[in-house]
Amino acid sequence: MKLKNKDLLGLENLDKKEIQLILDTAGPFKELFTRSVKKVPALRGQTVVLLFYEPSTRTRNSFELAAKRLSADSLNVPISTSSVVKGESLIDTVKTIEAMKADFVIIRHSMAGAAEIVSRTIKSSVINAGDGAHEHPTQGLLDLFTIREKKGKIKGLKVTIIGDILHSRVARSNIWGLKKMGAEVRVCAPATLIPPEIESMGVEVFYNLEKALNDVDVIYTLRIQLERQKEHLLPSLREYAEFYAITNERLKYAKDDCLVMHPGPMNRGVEIFGEVADGPQSVILEQVTNGIAIRMAVLYLLAGRKQINSKD
Amino acid sequence: MEKILIKNGRVVNPDNKIDEVLDILIEGSKIKYLKKPLSITADKIINAQGKIVVPGLIDMHVHLREPGREDEETIASGTKAAAMGGITSVCCMANTNPCIDNVSGVKFVLLKAEKEGLINVFPIGSITKNLLGKELSSMGEMSKAGIVAVSDDGNLIMNAKIMRRALEYAKTFNLPTIVHCEDLNLSHNGVMNEGKVSAILGLAGIPREAENIMVARDIALANLTGAKLHIAHVSTKESVTLIKEAKRKGIKVTCETCPHYFTLTEKNVGKYNTNMKMKPPLRTQTDINAIKEGLAEGTIDCIVSDHAPHLDIEKNTEFNLAAFGIIGLETLLPLIMVELVEKKVLSLSEAIKKVTLNPATILGLKEGRLKKGEYANLTIIDPQMELKIGNDFFHSKCKNSPFIGRKLKGFAVTTIVEGRIVMENRTFVSN
Amino acid sequence: MVFREKKIIMNKSEIDRTIKRMAHEIIEKNYGVEDLVIIGIQNRGVPLANRLAFKIKEIESVDIPVGVLDITLYRDDLNSAADQPIVRETKIPFNIDRKKIVLVDDVLFTGRTIRAALDELIDFGRPKLIRLAVLIDRGNREFPIQPDFVGKIFPASIKELICVELKEVDDNERVILKEILENAHEIKK
Ligand SMILES: [Zn+2]
């Protein structure tokens, strides 16, 4: 069993078995974190380039730590110090990186499809660390891993994703992943934040939070950004919170053992209240830990795949 | 005077509904005879047996990019590509740099076309100065200088009062006004059709209503002003319905569509294929069906390429950053043959009419007909010729075609402009 | 690859007797069971480690801590593995500092697995010593590694394969010699 593609661009492209392989592989990596030496030599000599066109300390740190714990060399190419500022095109930039003999290019970009273009342009393995409103596959995988770890399964669970579905790559990756693993997925937000025809992805749309949370196993809240106010999508964050924030009171709509998840960073008091984020049902910090394990698993599996193929 | 005899071709001339095997004799620049087999000698005899002889095609919506973006296309390269596509007349849009909003611009295009163009070029003037949608451009003077229509295509006039005045003023000079219909507030930062595919790809969508609303507005304004309105590149089912209804009411509205709107859907955007990015965006199968129906019942008058060349660096980039538009001069005819004639949406004669007689009538041109004593602009089509569309297929300076990789059938094999053979057996003839 | 079963090297009772003997040897060589821990290498070193611990308990009435070690991430052949090795669980729920470790695997061949295991163990701490116990030593070493406790020495050629089958993992309980056939059609002969 191995991954089919050289790249990880989205969960849309993975089948159930591949997702399972990644989740199964992440388990032993998580165990590694309990050791005093949290580093293994598996990717010794390989180079991982982190190309971040958007500032994201969390995701970048997580990938960087994953690479380092596999003994790979990692190189940061943040936008502010790279030639991107001088107007170099994405394609020219990644060709330069390929010329440095990078084995992996991990890309974060504000535009949907950016990772796809990079993967078409270069031979290195490309991992999408978030492209516009398209996908953020490692986030989706770490969320699946967290749910499976806590619930023992994914199939048959009811999951509600609340927030800016329209602009959320996290929502799209989670929808693909959860649907492939057999969960029932609901999305909930004011209609302005739900893309038309999102139902075609197999989700049920709710505008009313109480109904959306009825009997669910997992509540997944998304970060709401202040800009949405200026784009005529929301009157105010205060009003959003009034109808959609997850509070202890609202947790009661869901199952008693419902998990609460958030991809971070959180706006406490807007999409989630502190009492919930820090409460017993929250697995938000574990998501962070699991993120490293998932990213190690992805790097390891892609590395193995690549080398197997270069042999034949 | 040199004589060219085209023998045994199936002559399709929508003007007088001829569809039969005839011989055509060209003497000098004009058609001398158009008869049953002629036993005449000529300097050159073209055997057109098994081929179709039609009036030279007219593509009334082309961006030739000169002046300003000669790296993308020039009048020379664009007319060359057109000639290879069987087109003998193009109307070039005014959104060049500088744009064609005054007499000197018109004269520049005509002079360039005269010197370097391979086929007839009819310029279109802008509606407003600098395409800004504010002050009217000198339509009267430009009309005198030779424009055949006015259009701010590429841009558009959001202000209904200015649009109304533009229509009225264009009417004064009997100029059709060609409109690109898009409510810019509604389409905002959209890059593809809003729907299933945009939801999955996470791309900002352009709702079909952005087109529909402006089609409705402009029809209302055409009704108000009595001016001749021509709606460019119709892409939605609702637009077809609105135009059909307007025509029924006797409003002076005509319209066009492009091959991609009856061939491709939003699904073809696939994984961010920027050669599938254009305005209006590719819609859905329902729209394809409605457009085909609109073509069949005559609601849609013309088929145009909306040839919009863009360099590889403008297309091979993030989908959001990629330029809108595709090339189309060289695939216009084969797509009509494959998607409309072969699939029996239109008869051959009806199909040819949409790229000859109809645009000629709308623009008031003498072209688009085969007539004794008139200029010999004609195209010979090999309906059996099959070609795979690859990068090397194109003669345009740009290769941004969504049809690369397809196999098409029914290509122009000879193009004759005013009695000059400019292309024969898919090779250019230097005169 | 296609194989042909050639010969049974050990049957169930032979395996059982061998493990019992090895347990005695381990106790003897360690002068008792103080500070003794056993770590089995995934996959079949794990049940062998458990069996050794069980036998030692029968003899000495002491619970010996048992750990599980997966060496996949320390392998030196990620580049050439025919199929990507599955990463399995590593579980050493005790501190190995100053412990006497008996590392257990089923077959000792090139020595590369043991090299990886030693590297990995050292990342866990600083044991007093590490000894190696294997059920079969088949020779053909590529690294300077020798076992301290051997169930059976069975020199095999490069074209042969030795498979240890244990009931915890497999349907059978035996050690079998297989021949690697170059071509699939040879199997008909
Ligand atoms: Zn347009």
Structure tokens of A146? 């967290």
Residue B306 among the catalytic residues = yes
For B309-329, how does the pLDDT look when each residue is reduced to its tens digit (9 = 90+)? 999 999 999 999 999 999 999
For A262-277, how does the pLDDT look when each residue is reduced to its tens digit (9 = 90+)? 999 999 999 999 999 9
For C127-177, how does the pLDDT look when each residue is reduced to its tens digit (9 = 90+)? 999 999 999 999 999 999 999 999 999 999 988 999 999 999 998 999 999
Residue C108 near residue C132, CB atoms below 8 Å: yes
Between the CA of B130 and the centroid of ligand 1 the distance, in Å, is 16
Q: Which residue has the tokens 């060609």?
A: B178
C89 to A27: CB separation less than 8 angstroms, yes or no: yes
DSSP letter assigned to residue B395: -
In a domain, C176, yes or no: yes
Which of C84, C90, C123 is the closest to A2 by Cβ? C84
Q: Is the pLDDT of residue A309 over 60?
A: no
Percentage, residues of chain A above pLDDT 70: 96
Catalytic residue among B306, B312, B382, B392: B306
Pairing of β A104-109 and β A125-131: parallel
Among B296, B307, B305, CA closest to B261: B305
CA distance C68 to C90: 5
For B227-271, how does the pLDDT look when each residue is reduced to its tens digit (9 = 90+)? 999 999 999 999 999 999 999 999 999 999 999 999 999 999 999
Percentage, residues of chain B above pLDDT 70: 100
DSSP letter assigned to residue B56: P
What pLDDT was estimated at residue C187?
Answer: 42
In this prediction, residue A310 has a pLDDT band, given cuts at 50, 70 and 90, of: very low
With beta carbons under 8 A apart, name residues in chain A contacting B313: 89
Distances (CA, A) of B359 to B302, B355, B364, B377, C68: 6, 6, 8, 15, 81
CA distance A288 to A286: 5
CA distance B126 to B151: 5
Single-letter amino acid, residue B379: T
Which residues does C18 contact at the CB level (< 8 Å), separation at least 6?
A: C10, C135, C151, C152
Residue C140, domain extent: 2-75+86-188
A113 to B319: CB separation less than 8 angstroms, yes or no: yes
Number of domains forming the structure of chain C:
1
DSSP SS3 for B5: strand
Single-letter amino acid, residue A117: I
Nearest CA distance, A30 vs chain C (angstrom): 10
Please report the DSSP string for B318-337 in residue order.
Answer: -TTTSPS-B--TTTHHHHII
Q: Is the pLDDT of residue A83 over 60?
A: no
Between the CA of B279 and the centroid of ligand 1 the distance, in Å, is 6
CA distance C124 to B298: 81
What pLDDT was estimated at residue A231?
Answer: 84
CA distance C142 to C109: 8
Residue C6 near residue C160, CB atoms below 8 Å: yes
User: How many residues does this entry show for chain C?
Assistant: 189
User: Taking residues A84-96, what's their average pLDDT?
Assistant: 80
Between the CA of B87 and the centroid of ligand 1 the distance, in Å, is 20
What pLDDT was estimated at residue A308?
Answer: 45
In this prediction, residue C188 has a pLDDT band, given cuts at 50, 70 and 90, of: very low
Q: Is the pLDDT of residue C80 over 80?
A: no
Determine if the peptide bond prior to B383 is cis (ω within 30°): no
Please report the DSSP string for A112-167 in residue order.
Answer: TTHHHHHHHH-SSEEEEEEETTTB-HHHHHHHHHHHHHHHS--TT-EEEEES-TTT
CA distance A239 to A131: 29
Orientation of helix A169-180 relative to helix A16-32, angle to 10°: 110
B55 burial level (CB within 10 Å; 0-12, 13-18, 19+): buried
Q: Is the pLDDT of residue A157 over 90?
A: yes
Q: What angle do CA A109, A124, C73 make, to 5 degrees?
A: 105
In degrees and rounded to multiples of 5, residue C138 shows phi and psi of -100, 0
For B260-270, how does the pLDDT look when each residue is reduced to its tens digit (9 = 90+)? 999 999 999 99
- The verdict on A200 touching B (C-beta cutoff 8 Å) is yes
In a domain, C154, yes or no: yes
Higher-pLDDT residue of A229, B332: B332
Structure tokens of C164? 């240890």
Q: Which domains does chain B have, with CATH numbers?
A: 3-53+374-428 (2.30.40.10), 55-363 (3.20.20.140)
- The verdict on A108 touching B (C-beta cutoff 8 Å) is no
* Range A132-153 burial, b when 16+ CB lie within 10 A, else e: bbbbbbbbbbbbbbbbbeebee
Q: Is the pLDDT of residue B113 over 60?
A: yes
Single-letter amino acid, residue B348: L
Nearest chain A residue to C90 by CA distance is A28
What pLDDT was estimated at residue A146?
Answer: 98
DSSP letter assigned to residue C87: P
Q: Is the pLDDT of residue B50 over 50?
A: yes
CA distance B237 to B71: 36
Among B293, B267, B285, B307, CA closest to B346: B293
- The verdict on B392 touching A (C-beta cutoff 8 Å) is no
DSSP SS3 for B372: coil
CA distance B233 to B257: 4
Q: Is the pLDDT of residue C125 over 80?
A: yes
- The verdict on A311 touching C (C-beta cutoff 8 Å) is yes
DSSP SS3 for C187: helix
Q: Is chain A adjacent to chain B, meaning 3+ CB pairs within 8 angstroms?
A: yes
What pLDDT was estimated at residue B59?
Answer: 98
What pLDDT was estimated at residue B338?
Answer: 98
For B178-189, how does the pLDDT look when each residue is reduced to its tens digit (9 = 90+)? 999 999 999 999
CA distance A21 to A298: 10
Count of alpha carbons within 13 angstroms of residue B322, beta-carbon side: 30
Please state the pTM of the whole predicted model.
0.90
Which of B194, B196, B202 is the closest to A169 by Cβ? B202
Between the CA of B298 and the centroid of ligand 1 the distance, in Å, is 21
Nearest CA distance, A237 vs chain C (angstrom): 45
Nearest chain C residue to A23 by CA distance is C87
In a domain, C80, yes or no: no
CA distance B121 to C27: 100
CA distance B90 to B88: 7
Among B80, B94, B8, B86, CA closest to B51: B8
In the 3-class helix/strand/coil scheme, how is B130-182 assigned residue by residue?
A: HHCCCCECCHHHHHHHCCCEEECCCCCCCCHHHHHHHHHHHHHCCCCEEECCC
Between the CA of C133 and the centroid of ligand 1 the distance, in Å, is 79
Listed ranges A22-36, A94-108, A145-159; the one with the highest mean pLDDT: A145-159
Mutate one of C42, C70, C73, C112 to test the A interface: name it (highest A CB count within 10 A). C73
DSSP SS3 for B118: coil
* Count of C-beta atoms within a 10 Å radius of residue B138: 16
User: Taking residues B400-427, what's their average pLDDT?
Assistant: 97
Helix (H) or strand (E) holding C45: helix C45-60
Alpha carbon distance, N-terminus to C-terminus of chain C:
16
The partner residues of B375 in beta bridges, in order of sequence, read B30
Residue B228 near residue B252, CB atoms below 8 Å: yes
Nearest CA distance, C69 vs chain A (angstrom): 11
Single-letter amino acid, residue B224: L
Determine if the peptide bond prior to B98 is cis (ω within 30°): yes
Which residues does B123 contact at the CB level (< 8 Å), separation at least 6?
A: B91, B92, B94, B100, B105, B106, B109, B110, B146, B147, B148
What pLDDT was estimated at residue B119?
Answer: 97
Residue B272 near residue B201, CB atoms below 8 Å: yes
* Average confidence score pLDDT of chain B: 96
CA distance A127 to B270: 19
CA distance B177 to B253: 10
Between the CA of B371 and the centroid of ligand 1 the distance, in Å, is 33
Structure tokens of B118? 């391979």
Among A101, A141, A70, CA closest to A287: A141
In a domain, C81, yes or no: no
Q: Which residue has the tokens 């048992």?
A: C66
Nearest CA distance, A108 vs chain C (angstrom): 27
With beta carbons under 8 A apart, name residues in chain A contacting B208: none
What pLDDT was estimated at residue B387?
Answer: 97
Q: Is the pLDDT of residue B12 over 80?
A: yes
With beta carbons under 8 A apart, name residues in chain B contacting A167: 202
In this prediction, residue B66 has a pLDDT band, given cuts at 50, 70 and 90, of: very high
What pLDDT was estimated at residue B158?
Answer: 95
What pLDDT was estimated at residue C183?
Answer: 60
C86 to A1: CB separation less than 8 angstroms, yes or no: yes
In the 3-class helix/strand/coil scheme, how is A97-123 assigned residue by residue?
A: HHHCCCCEEEEEECCCCHHHHHHHHCC
- The verdict on B108 touching A (C-beta cutoff 8 Å) is no
User: Taking residues B208-213, what's their average pLDDT?
Assistant: 98
- The verdict on A40 touching C (C-beta cutoff 8 Å) is yes
What pLDDT was estimated at residue C81?
Answer: 54
For B22-42, how does the pLDDT look when each residue is reduced to its tens digit (9 = 90+)? 999 999 999 998 888 767 888
CA distance B19 to B351: 13
In a domain, C21, yes or no: yes
Q: What is the dihedral of CA B331, B337, B342, B343, to 10 degrees?
A: 60
CA distance A162 to C99: 52
Q: Is the pLDDT of residue A85 over 70?
A: no
Among B26, B13, B20, CA closest to B56: B13
In a domain, C104, yes or no: yes
CATH for C99: 3.40.50.2020
For A45-78, how does the pLDDT look when each residue is reduced to its tens digit (9 = 90+)? 999 999 999 888 899 999 999 999 999 999 998 7
CA distance B343 to B339: 6
Count of alpha carbons within 13 angstroms of residue B204, beta-carbon side: 13
Alpha carbon distance, N-terminus to C-terminus of chain B:
15
B52 burial level (CB within 10 Å; 0-12, 13-18, 19+): buried
- The verdict on A70 touching C (C-beta cutoff 8 Å) is yes
B317 to A197: CB separation less than 8 angstroms, yes or no: no
CA distance B313 to B300: 34
What pLDDT was estimated at residue A54?
Answer: 87
